[in-house]
Amino acid sequence: MKKLLLLILCSATVARAQLIDLTPGGFNPDEGLPPAFFELQTQTFFDEAAHGWFDLPEGTTYLNGWVSRYGELDGGVFFFTNLFRIGDSPSASIWWDFRQTDNGMTMINVWGPKPDGTIREHIYGVQRNKMRRTPPVVITLDGMTIIQSIAFYGTDQRIPHRTRQAILLRDFAR
């Protein structure tokens, strides 16, 4: 148990070098949504890494791969995770390389169910100097909850993020 705690603490330190923890300790969406959740909604959804049982329109389905249903990009091409290989785990590695594209990673949304069925969610922001490329970094929900989903969000670098957000807000107000 002490080794696991040490690993989690070290992982959090590594992640902080590349990512910005926007929801320290994570949150339960049923107890209210933090400002980071609303910022996430202004980003472009790229793809989701899914591991576990999901209630989908076609029924309860086991997934262990990229969902690629509604995302703008396919996972496993410019961004990656070891979630599918390691299985049920409270932490996973992620990395990306957008140097050959106009895209950049901006936010990561991680979630999973606790043993009592409540959902735990954690949102990370990407440091501006790491939007195009990063070596593997470790992410976690709360250090104990099994990760079931890692959703990757970003932006098209041809449109500055704040300008893109202003356009989205303007269109929403119409």
Question: Which pLDDT tens digit goes with each residue over 83-132?
Answer: 999 999 999 999 999 998 889 999 999 999 999 999 999 999 999 889 99
Residue 137 DSSP symbol: E
- Asked whether residue 166 carries a pLDDT value surpassing 80, the answer given is no
Short-list 69, 52, 45, CA closest to 141: 52
Q: What is the DSSP letter of 147?
A: P
pLDDT by residue (tens digit) across 34-71? 999 999 999 999 999 999 998 888 899 999 999 977 78
Q: What is the pLDDT of residue 6?
A: 38
What does pLDDT average to over the chain?
Answer: 83
The pTM of the full predicted model, rounded to 2 decimals, is: 0.80
Give the largest CA-CA distance in the chain.
55
List, in sequence order, every beta strand (DSSP E) within the chain: 19-21, 44-56, 59-66, 79-81, 91-97, 103-113, 119-126, 133-140, 149-156
Structure tokens at 173: 């107000």
Domain map (residue ranges) of the chain: 2-173
Asked if the model's pLDDT at residue 31 lies above 60, the reply is yes
Reported as a pLDDT band with limits 50, 70 and 90, residue 11 is very low
* Nearest to 112, CA basis, from 170, 27, 32: 27
Bridge pairing between strands 149-156 and 44-56: antiparallel
Q: Kindly tell me if the per-residue pLDDT of 17 is higher than 80.
A: no
Q: What's the gap between Cα 109 and its chain centre?
A: 3
Query: Given the DSSP bridges, would you call strands 103-113 and 149-156 parallel, antiparallel or unpaired?
Result: antiparallel
- Residue 135 exposure: Cα atoms within 13 Å on the Cβ side: 3
pLDDT, tens digit (0-9, with 9 covering 90-100), for 62-84:
999 999 777 888 899 999 999 99
Which amino acid type is present at position 162?
A: R
Q: Nearest Cα to 148, choosing from 89, 98, 86?
A: 89
Per-residue model confidence (pLDDT) at position 158: 56
Backbone angles phi and psi of 170, in degrees to 5: -60, -45
